[in-house]
Amino acid sequence: DAIAVLRQLLDLLGGRKVKCTFYVIGRNVETYPEIARRIVSEGHEIANHTWSHPALTSIGAGRLNQEIEKTSASIQRVTGRRPTNMRPPYGAINDRVRQAIFRDHGLDVIMWSCDPLDWKRPGAEVGRQRLVNGATPGGILLAHDIHPGTIEAVPGAIRDLKAKGYGFATVSQLLALQENPSRPSQVAPVAQEEATAVR
| pLDDT bracket for residue 145 (50, 70, 90) | confident
State pLDDT tens for residues 76-86.
Answer: 999 999 999 99
**pLDDT above 90 coverage of the chain, percent:** 81
Confidence label for 179 from pLDDT (cuts 50, 70 and 90): low
State the Cα–Cα distance between residues 26 and 49, nearest whole angstrom.
7
- Greater confidence (177 vs 93) lies with 93
Query: For the chain, how far is it from start to end, CA to CA, in angstroms?
Result: 17
What is the per-residue pLDDT for 153? 95
* Whole-number pLDDT of residue 109: 97
pLDDT in tens, 26-72: 999 999 999 999 999 999 999 999 999 999 999 999 999 999 999 99
E-assigned strands of the chain? 21-24, 45-48, 85-86, 108-109, 140-143, 195-198
Q: Is the pLDDT of residue 87 over 50?
A: yes
Whether 85 and 48 have beta carbons less than 8 Å apart is answered as: yes
Mean pLDDT of the chain: 89
Q: What is the pLDDT of residues 122-138, one digit of tens each?
A: 899 999 999 999 999 99
What is the value of pTM for the model shown?
0.87
Q: Is the pLDDT of residue 187 over 60?
A: no
Q: Which residue has the higher pLDDT, 190 or 128?
A: 128
User: 162: how many CB neighbours lie within 10 A of its CB?
Assistant: 14
Q: Is the pLDDT of residue 180 over 50?
A: yes
The pLDDT of 176-186, averaged and rounded, is 58
Phi, psi values for residue 52, rounded to 5°: -135, 15
In the chain, what percentage of residues exceed pLDDT 70?
89
Q: Where in 104-181 does DSSP place strands (E)?
A: 108-109, 140-143
